[in-house]
């Protein structure tokens, strides 16, 4: 049993991006321990399938259509979940999109789109659920950032900045919420098998290169979810995984200029390989 299930016997979780990938993996893991799970996503067909799996495993899913960048819709959804569940113990601000492109070539409309989902989606989730957690004097917020906030590789400016923002939000809330017995964890994984690029706007090369990194990662969403839930139960603020990502985190601090050049060299070499595959 996860420590989170012992720490929060009410077992009420709200997860964005729950229809697939890491969000679905979180839902599956918690379902096996009898959690009531608010499962939110924009893809209602996939969400229905994920919810059926959760039910079969002993969980209690409550599904919501939610575009996390829509603050009006998010306000309504959060209120509905709190009313139905009677409170909230775990908040997973997990929904996100991946994309890339040269900084000045990536359309400004795409920056708005990326920021709305990856950054403001986290802001809205925290904004609407923190009051309930403060009232309870308990809860745990898990924000999905990325090792991209560490690496900041070329051609990923929009994605990098939104994920760095999630780290900053998490660190800020960690301090603000200490006296309210509300925990905060910031999740920073490298590539793993998920469909983060399903809505990418940057073109075939971006999708091909990202998929190449995903395929060679060797990490499944289930394994990532299990490690995150285990470490969150220990109240870790920074959940950086796997070990290679933690090494990146250390090297950036110990040798920042060397690290920046190394990231650039390795990423551009990978992009050249992807270009050959696209052709």
Summarize pLDDT for 186-219 with one digit per residue, the tens: 999 986 656 655 555 555 556 565 555 555 556 7
Domain limits for position 57: 7-278
In a domain, 1, yes or no: no
Long-range pairs of 79-84 with CB within 8 A, sequence gap ≥ 24 = 79/128, 81/14, 81/38, 82/129, 82/132, 84/38
Please enumerate in sequence order all residues whose Cβ is within 8 A of that of 152, keeping only pairs 6 or more positions apart, or say none.
160, 164, 260, 263
Query: Could you report the per-residue pLDDT of 106-141, keeping only the tens digit for each?
Result: 999 999 999 999 999 999 999 999 999 999 999 999
What pLDDT is stored for residue 12 in this prediction? 98
In a domain, 67, yes or no: yes
What pLDDT is stored for residue 30 in this prediction? 98
In a domain, 113, yes or no: yes
Q: Domain with 77 in it: what CATH number?
A: 3.40.50.720
Number of domains into which the chain is organized: 1
In a domain, 57, yes or no: yes
- Average pLDDT, stretch 36-48? 98
In a domain, 198, yes or no: yes
List the structure tokens of 32. 């096996």
In a domain, 53, yes or no: yes
In a domain, 2, yes or no: no
137 conformational bin, left if phi > 0, alpha if psi -120 to 50, beta if neither = left
**What DSSP designation does 118 have?**
I
- Average pLDDT, stretch 139-148? 96
CB 184 within 8 A of CB 173: yes
List the structure tokens of 100. 């890339």
């Amino acid at each position: 049993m996860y420590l989170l299930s012992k720490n929060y016997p009410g077992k009420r979780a709200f997860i964005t991006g729950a229809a697939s990938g890491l969000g679905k993996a979180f839902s599956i893991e918690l379902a096996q321990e009898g959690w009531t799970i608010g499962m939110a996503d924009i893809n209602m067909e996939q969400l229905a399938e994920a919810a059926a799996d959760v039910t079969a495993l002993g969980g209690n899913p409550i599904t919501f259509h939610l575009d996390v960048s829509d603050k009006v819709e998010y306000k309504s959804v959060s209120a509905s979940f709190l009313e139905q569940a009677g409170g909230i113990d775990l908040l997973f601000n997990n929904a996100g999109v991946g994309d890339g492109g040269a900084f000045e070539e990536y359309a400004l409309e795409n920056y708005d789109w990326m920021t709305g989902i990856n950054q403001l989606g986290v802001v809205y989730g925290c904004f609407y659920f923190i009051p309930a957690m403060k009232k309870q004097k308990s809860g745990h917020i898990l924000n999905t950032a990325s090792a991209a906030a560490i690496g900041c590789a070329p051609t990923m400016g929009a994605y990098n900045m939104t994920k760095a923002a999630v780290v900053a939000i998490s660190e800020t809330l960690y301090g603000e919420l200490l006296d309210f017995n509300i925990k905060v964890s910031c999740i920073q994984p490298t590539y793993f098998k998920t469909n983060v690029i399903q809505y990418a706007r940057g073109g075939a090369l971006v999708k091909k290169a990202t998929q190449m990194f995903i395929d060679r990662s060797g990490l499944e969403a289930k394994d990532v979810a299990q490690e995150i839930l285990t470490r969150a139960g220990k109240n870790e603020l920074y959940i950086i995984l796997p070990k290679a990502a933690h090494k990146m985190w250390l090297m950036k601090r110990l040798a920042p200029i060397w690290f920046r050049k190394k990231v650039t060299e390795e990423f551009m070499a990978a992009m050249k390989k992807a270009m050959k595959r696209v052709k």
